[in-house]
Amino acid sequence: MTPDKTEARIHRALKESRKGPLRAKELAKALQIPGRGYRAFRDILQQMERRGNLYRVKGQRYAIPEKINLRVGVLQVTRNEDGFVVGDDGSRDVFVPGSLLDSAMDGDQVVVRVEGQPKGRNPHGRVIKILNRAHSTVVGTFREARRFGYVDPLNDRIFRDILIPAGEEAEARTGDIVVARISAFGDRKLNPMGSVERVLGPISEPGVDVLSILFGYGLDLEFPKEIEEAAQEIVQRKRDEGWEGRIDRSALHVFTIDPSDAKDHDDALSIEPLTDRTWEVGIHIADVSHYVEKGGPLDLEALRRGTSVYLVDRVVPMLPHVLSSDLCSLRPDLDRAAVSLFVTLDAGGGIRGHRFERTRIRSRHRLDYDQVQEVLSGNAHIDERTDKDLETLASLARSLREKRIRRGSLDFNLPEARVIVGADGIPVDIQKVVQLESHRLIEDFMLLANETVAKETDQKKLPIPYRVHEPPAPDRLDELRRFLATLGYPIKETRVTGKDLQKILKAVDGKPEGTLISTVILRSMARARYQPQNLGHFGLGTGSYAHFTSPIRRYPDLMVHRVVIRALIDGKPIPEEWGGDALAQAADRSTVREGLATDAERDSVALKKAEFMEQHLGEEFSGTVSGVTAFGIFVLLDEYYVEGLVHVNSLMDDYYLLREEEYALVGERTGRRFRLGDTLRVRVSRVDRLERKIDFVLAPEIAPKEV
């Protein structure tokens, strides 16, 4: 019996136990585990305990956490130094006062005992065990004291300084940004203790600010020497090999479409007419698995990293540059190894058939999004064949998109910000990124490929990490219902589907409240993740979805490629060790690493936004209320797409109270309200680049007068 099936039986036995928690031998007896399998059974119990699936109580007895008022989740610390423990089961977060956090830090996986459930509010409790530490190192500003030093963390959710004993400061000077390794986490009364591992330098030095984010998230800028050597050895060996076992598709008219500054090109397209009303679209993906052997040093390093990280001024790749931006990349006029999915489509976006091939291809053009958009708009010309192919692909993409939206796929189309930095790393502009038809063209065909792969692997019960996105939790839906009803967009009380939400998004598109409603719906969504069980993808309105199209920069895609090649192309059985616990752990790790990368990317943009706004202190801008909290309102500037806080302390005409159900901050005496979506004019009053914080005050003509 596989480990995952054994875990399911253990969970069921403990859930149904009338004796309460059970010892290991009692569990083994209940599950009829033979004597020769007892040691492996104990190993499974210990693994489940380490992950927080089981909890051991007095008498060495095992229990399911929820059966004994325990919850397992990730701690999120607030600005007030309290915390919320967020589980992955959709239940309400557990509130933990700062005094009951023990030594837990933001991001730690913890066990919390639920000690109360106030009516209509989050349950509250205390941290009783820390399963996994999120921070072995902390980045901060070093300060010298009389007998010791200390590091003030840059992460504004780590509130305790790290004490640095004399002799452990590694030549750091007051004001330097350093990386400190924690040797003892302390407790409620004692601060953590550690040593300076690396001195990054003063924050004023170019590049130190972004390096502080990299090291703050534990992201490695450089590869170990042995990994670089392994990559070079692969390059030499594979370049000398022939193309045996591949179908030669180098005659196809293939091209890539990417951002203008992209270095890694892991997907390309081709299209061939079959009849007047059908076409064969080739979706060609770099065959990274040809170079990265499963279980080898490059594979283990890629798994450890999980994903490439795209910071505001640099890329930290998952694979060494010699592979990611050279040998694996589908660069123009070079023969490259690919895994190709050929899909036959009709004019309405209907799929008539598909097949997978391991191919040899040659890209004809390296196109960028702006270039393609100009062609589609009729303002530019590449060559007759390429222009025609782009126009046909765009037409088919629109048909695919319309079908996807009809089935309930959510299309938020919210703008994003792009920070433009100069050669010295100093930001010179912040631009709104508007999604072009050329972006959508690529997105539509990548979605098609990902969904096609997921459907076939699901039908054949093949072990892959699915990309799952579950429906919003019931309490989030209730809040969303109340909010939408106040704006005149009621949704049904029964089960809410993607179609229901898509109808609302379509109805508000282009209206003044459109961005507000889209933002609130997006915030009500669960976070997508990787896992072995196919739970469908609510946001895309599909029962099966996986990541297949970016194996250069995402480890789950590489895992899926190996299964597609072995099972769907070569027709061989999948080894048992590719599934089970190994698959589950790789999926979990990929989800965690993706989250870290997303947070690091967001923080690098926020840092450069703050640096940019330092140049605009005292200036006034128009903006929109983008968030409402008890401590103030967040305002998103129209011109630069920068968000800052109007602190409640600056609203001196009244006491302002948060009305969560209305997404509003309301004056207790005057009734004056600031609501999500309101337009305001604000002045930049304070910028803290290190903490990535921008403060606004209301412009004088609308600011409330002190009374």
pLDDT in tens, 39-89: 888 888 988 888 778 888 888 888 888 788 788 888 998 877 899 988 766
Q: For residues 42 and 75, is the Cβ–Cβ distance under 8 A? A: no
Q: Of 570, 603, 636, which residue constitutes the final position of a domain?
A: 603
Do 579 and 661 lie in a common domain?
no
* Residue 110 bridge partners (DSSP): 73, 130
In a domain, 489, yes or no: no
Do 295 and 363 lie in a common domain?
yes
Q: For residues 83 and 104, is the Cβ–Cβ distance under 8 A? A: yes
In a domain, 505, yes or no: no
Q: Which of 367, 402, 418, 358 has the alpha carbon at shortest distance from 641? A: 418
Give dist(CA 256, CA 153) in Å, integer: 43
pTM assigned to the model: 0.83
Q: Of 66, 96, 119, which residue constitutes the final position of a domain?
A: 66
Max CA distance (Å), the chain: 83
3-class secondary-structure state, position 471: coil
Instruction: Give the single-character DSSP code of 68.
Output: G
In a domain, 288, yes or no: yes
Axis-axis angle for helices 297-305, 580-613 (nearest 10): 50
Give dist(CA 362, CA 256) in Å, integer: 10
Give dist(CA 162, CA 138) in Å, integer: 8
Half-sphere exposure of 437 (CA within 13 A, CB side): 18
3-class secondary-structure state, position 564: helix
Do 328 and 315 lie in a common domain?
yes
The CATH number of residue 158's host domain is: 2.40.50.700
Give dist(CA 704, CA 651) in Å, integer: 6
Backbone angles phi, psi at 381, to 5 degrees: -145, 130
In a domain, 183, yes or no: yes
Q: For residues 127 and 157, is the Cβ–Cβ distance under 8 A? A: no
The CATH number of residue 108's host domain is: 2.40.50.690
Give dist(CA 17, CA 532) in Å, integer: 27
Do 229 and 369 lie in a common domain?
yes
Q: Quick one: CA dihedral 402, 403, 406, 409, positive or negative? A: negative
Half-sphere exposure of 297 (CA within 13 A, CB side): 13
The CATH number of residue 667's host domain is: 2.40.50.140
Q: Which of 179, 97, 102 has the alpha carbon at shortest distance from 138? A: 179
In a domain, 475, yes or no: no
Q: Which of 252, 248, 245 has the alpha carbon at shortest distance from 270? A: 252
Q: Which of 266, 248, 244 has the alpha carbon at shortest distance from 328? A: 266
Residue type, 213: I
3-class secondary-structure state, position 178: strand
Backbone angles phi, psi at 136, to 5 degrees: -90, -20
3-class secondary-structure state, position 588: helix
Q: Quick one: CA dihedral 36, 39, 43, 45, positive or negative? A: positive
Do 252 and 295 lie in a common domain?
yes
Give dist(CA 522, CA 412) in Å, integer: 8
Do 104 and 183 lie in a common domain?
no
Q: For residues 264 and 325, is the Cβ–Cβ distance under 8 A? A: yes
Alpha helices per DSSP H over 487-613: 498-508, 514-524, 555-563, 580-613
What burial class does residue 570 get, using C-beta atoms within 10 Å of its C-beta: 0-12 exposed, 13-18 middle, 19+ buried? exposed
Q: Residue 540 has what pLDDT?
A: 94
What's the start-to-end Cα distance of the chain, in Å? 73
Q: For residues 106 and 81, is the Cβ–Cβ distance under 8 A? A: no
Residues of the chain with pLDDT under 50: 705-707
Instruction: Give Cβ neighbours of residue 83 (< 8 Å, ≥ 6 apart).
Output: 75, 76, 77, 95, 96, 98, 101, 104, 106, 127
Give dist(CA 17, CA 11) in Å, integer: 10
Q: Which of 308, 280, 517 has the alpha carbon at shortest distance from 389? A: 280
Give dist(CA 54, CA 521) in Å, integer: 34
Give dist(CA 279, CA 348) in Å, integer: 11
Q: For residues 155 and 106, is the Cβ–Cβ distance under 8 A? A: yes
What burial class does residue 395 get, using C-beta atoms within 10 Å of its C-beta: 0-12 exposed, 13-18 middle, 19+ buried? middle
Query: Beta strands 351-368 and 247-248: pairing type?
Result: parallel
Q: Which of 131, 549, 546, 145 has the alpha carbon at shortest distance from 338? A: 549
Backbone angles phi, psi at 256, to 5 degrees: -105, 155
Q: Residue 479 has what pLDDT?
A: 83
3-class secondary-structure state, position 21: coil
Alpha helices per DSSP H over 408-473: 437-459
Q: Residue 707 has what pLDDT?
A: 39
Q: Which of 153, 266, 133, 162 has the alpha carbon at shortest distance from 215? A: 153
Q: Of 27, 48, 66, which residue constitutes the final position of a domain?
A: 66
Give dist(CA 258, CA 439) in Å, integer: 9
Axis-axis angle for helices 369-376, 437-459 (nearest 10): 110
3-class secondary-structure state, position 496: coil
Give dist(CA 199, CA 221) in Å, integer: 15
Structure tokens at 195: 């040593």
Do 560 and 679 lie in a common domain?
no
> Which residue, chain included where needed, has tokens 């899926």?
560
Q: Residue 173 has what pLDDT?
A: 92
Instruction: Give the single-character DSSP code of 669.
Output: T
Count the domains in the chain: 5
Do 592 and 666 lie in a common domain?
no
Give dist(CA 605, CA 599) in Å, integer: 10
In a domain, 294, yes or no: yes
Q: Residue 422 has what pLDDT?
A: 86
Do 36 and 174 lie in a common domain?
no
In a domain, 497, yes or no: no
Give dist(CA 702, CA 705) in Å, integer: 9
In a domain, 232, yes or no: yes
Do 93 and 152 lie in a common domain?
no
Give dist(CA 185, CA 127) in Å, integer: 15
Q: Which of 432, 433, 434 has the alpha carbon at shortest distance from 640? A: 432
Instruction: Give Cβ neighbours of residue 459 (< 8 Å, ≥ 6 apart).
Output: none
Domain extent, residue 169, equals: 137-202
Do 62 and 73 lie in a common domain?
no
What burial class does residue 36 get, using C-beta atoms within 10 Å of its C-beta: 0-12 exposed, 13-18 middle, 19+ buried? exposed
Do 33 and 176 lie in a common domain?
no
